[in-house]
Amino acid sequence: MLRGAALVLTTIASIIVARHIGPNDFGQLAFVLALASVLAIPSNSAAVPFLVRFTAAYNRPADYGSMVSAWRWSARRTRLWVLVGMVAALAVSAAVALTAGAGPALPYVVAALLIALWSQAARIAGILQGLKRVVLAQLFDWLVQPALYLLLVLGLLLSGALALNAVLVAFGVALAVSVVAGSVTSNSVRSVFKQQASSTSAEHLPDPSWPSAWRFYSLIQAVSVANLRFPLLIIGFVSVNEQAGFYRAAESIALLPPIMITVANSVLGPYVSELFHNGKHDELQSLMRRVSRYATCIALLFVVGVVAFGELLLVTLYGPSFSDAYLPLCILSVGQLVNVACGSVGLLANMTGDERYAFKAQAAGLVVSVTLCLVLAPEFGALGASVAAACSTVLWTVVVLFRSAQKIGVNPSVFALRVNRMDRVNQ
């Protein structure tokens, strides 16, 4: 529910901004945010899964000291990378300021501040989720921040001050307020657990498993973020801002169908793990196939609608200047249709102990995406980047799908695939 609300609020804000600042400034806005999110990868990519895992593992009065040790250890790991990311963003700002015709430098200064704020937001979310305050953990990222951002955008619109720099500042202010509110809430929740802690629970030395877990989570999250952001980032470097604006508008619509799978995954995880480890493979197959069929039917209708009315949709939502985003929208939508049709392959791999193979497949997809982007984006702009992103998505999902059918013995897709019998797989 909260994720759906965040999607709606963010999409409305993006449409308002795009219509009033145009594809060129909208492209620069998208590029700056993509750059900030990539520079923030080392500082916050592992924070949420690491803190969720070890906060939950030590969520007992007798282990409160170990839990605090894990919190402080993770904070030390992120501080250096936050500083590195901020320095890199400020270096870009200085380079832009010294380059004639490169545009304003202020957006990159804001990007540096966003890196620090995102790091703190990830820390808050991880701790609250680990303490089983899931709704609170999602409330600030998925409701408070996007709602406040939309209100600030509307305020800028009504005052006639809606421009690139003002929008970025509004985004930063909304994020800062949500981080402050989240920090206050997190401290309140943590104080309750501290009062319940055993008086003999002292802080411990770092657990030997922490560094390896941190590295693995960093790699997984880094590849995931890079797969999403690199096409837009490469367009910004090798093409013009207008093409980045076209790609961002197309992407915002094309990413709607996978939301159904994402929402289903947030619910299915425990059931998939339970069915698999209890040997109820037929029930697991039926559950996964049923979800993918429903999601694919809706996604197929969506893609047909995009092909038939996509240009009209772009013009209606974003304005006439975004009509050139139609072909990128069609290509990205077809790629996401294949993604949905393959089913919850990532969830199935993670819940059945095959997450390392899924990571390798996503890494291979990232290599394909970056390579194709570098080849196609300079000549074809948003169209070339959309081809690269779609090929990457199709590659890694199809590879993991065949792996699931052959090793795990479950076909979560709508496609008719031969699967190995589970009893043979487990021998």
Helix residue ranges per DSSP H, 278-325: 281-318
* Sign of the alpha-carbon dihedral angle for 188, 193, 196, 202: negative
Does one domain contain both 291 and 406?
A: yes
Does one domain contain both 111 and 8?
A: yes
Does one domain contain both 244 and 189?
A: no
**Structurally, how many domains does the chain consist of?**
2
What does pTM read for this prediction? 0.87
Tell me which residue range forms the domain holding 127: 1-207
pLDDT tens-digit readout, 101-159 = 556 678 889 999 999 999 999 999 989 988 888 888 889 988 999 999 999 999 999 99
Does one domain contain both 281 and 379?
A: yes
Per-residue pLDDT at 205 exceeds 70: no
Does one domain contain both 368 and 408?
A: yes
End position of a domain, from candidates 207, 229, 255: 207
Does one domain contain both 285 and 183?
A: no
pLDDT tens-digit readout, 347-382 = 888 778 788 888 899 999 999 999 999 999 999 999
Q: What number of other Cβ atoms are within 10 A of residue 420's Cβ?
A: 14
List all residues 6 or more positions away from 408 whose beta carbon is below 8 Å from its beta carbon. Answer: 276, 348, 349, 352, 354, 422, 425
CA 88 to each of CA 192, 344, 400: distance values in angstroms, whole numbers, following the listed order: 39, 36, 35
Pairwise CA distance, residues 51 & 69, whole Å: 11
- Which phi and psi (to 5°) does residue 293 adopt? -65, -45
End position of a domain, from candidates 207, 227, 248: 207
Does one domain contain both 327 and 339?
A: yes
End position of a domain, from candidates 184, 207, 230: 207
Would you state the structure tokens that stand for residue 161, as one six-digit string?
A: 């001050």
Does one domain contain both 198 and 244?
A: no
CA nearest neighbour of 292 among 399, 211, 186, 412: 412
pLDDT tens-digit readout, 49-105 = 888 888 888 888 777 888 889 999 999 989 989 999 999 999 988 887 666 455 667
Exposure string over 342-351, b if 16+ CB within 10 A, otherwise e: bbbbbbbbbb
